[in-house]
Structure 1
Amino acid sequence: MTRTIDEILADARERLERLEPDKAYAETREGAVLVDIRPAAQRAAEGEVPGALIVERNVLEWRFDPASGARLPEATGHDLRVIVLCSEGYTSSLAAAALHDLGLTRATDVAGGFKAWRAMGLPTTGGTAG
């Protein structure tokens, strides 16, 4: 059986309670972990969110699986609230669904990604792209 990326994305998003940027920001102020999965070049061009944990997409599962020897100190258990951020909110949905597969069922992502975050006037730094 084959599926398109649009079908896979839709299935991933059905599992998430996606957050608008302002809601994600509020949750991070209450202790949720905001995780920026964009590659370094994209962060340099677009800017960053102060305080976001940088974990590039290719290692995300290893860093947040509580049973992994490569986990981050922040990966304290399956009840951790992880909010994933990418550029526009597509890759982050797939990444958050992958965290669900690891048992981190409170993981979600930012609808519209970094671009929506910045457009809403939430805190950012740097970036060379407009």
Structure 2
Amino acid sequence: MKFIIDNWMLILLAATSGGLLLWQTLQKSQGGAVGCNEAVRLINREKAVLVDVSEPTEYATGHANGARSIPLGSLAGAKELPSNKALPVVLMCATGTRSARAASQLRKAGHEKAVSVAGGLKAWREAGLPVQKAS
């Protein structure tokens, strides 16, 4: 008992640290956002489909190379989505806000591996990854 009283701060710090690690693990398992490097890994190694949920005018001004354009408003039932719901779907928008909503929407529709790119196209550009304009 004396040990606990003398070291209460260290015990509190250890419990807080463990709680934060557990919270991060739970967030990832719920299909939270992924970084650009993880998105590229999913595309290259797991044949993930890259979808840009920005509006058509935003998509035309610049989007990640190879991204399919499916605006958030027309995502439900879009034919451009993979019919195989086991394939990963990587979603992107300008900042990552709309794509996070889109990922949640797709997971509810059965695409269990739908994830959003954290930071969106802005982070993609900052990472030096290829961007193209619609022609």
Larger radius of gyration: 2
CA shift, 1:25, in A, is 1.5
Listed one character per residue, the Cα deviations across residues 60-98 of structure 1 (whole Å, up to 9, x for unaligned) are: 1211xxxxxxx33x5222212101101101111011000
1:83 to 71, 79, 90: 90
1:40 to 56, 78, 89: 56
Aligned to 2:41: 26
Aligned residues: CA RMSD: 1.7
The normalised TM-score by structure 1 is: 0.73
Kindly provide the amino acid, as one letter, of the partner of residue 113 in structure 1: G
Q: Which runs of 5+ in 1 are unaligned?
A: 1-13, 64-70
Distance in 1, matches of 2:59 and 2:51, equals 12
CA shift, 1:41, in A, is 1.4
The number of residue pairs the alignment matches comes to 105
1:113 to 87, 98, 120: 120
Q: Which runs of 5+ in 2 are unaligned?
A: 1-26
Helix, strand or coil at the partner of 2:132: coil
Listed one character per residue, the Cα deviations across residues 1-37 of structure 1 (whole Å, up to 9, x for unaligned) are: xxxxxxxxxxxxx532321012102211221001001
Helix, strand or coil at the partner of 1:44: helix
* Structure number having the greater helix percentage: 2
Distance in 1, matches of 2:42 and 2:31, equals 15
Helix, strand or coil at the partner of 1:34: strand
Aligned to 2:8: none
Write out the 4+ residue segments of structure 1 that deviate beyond 3 Å after TM superposition.
Answer: none
Q: Which has the higher contact order (CA 8 A, sep 6+)?
A: 1
Aligned to 1:11: none
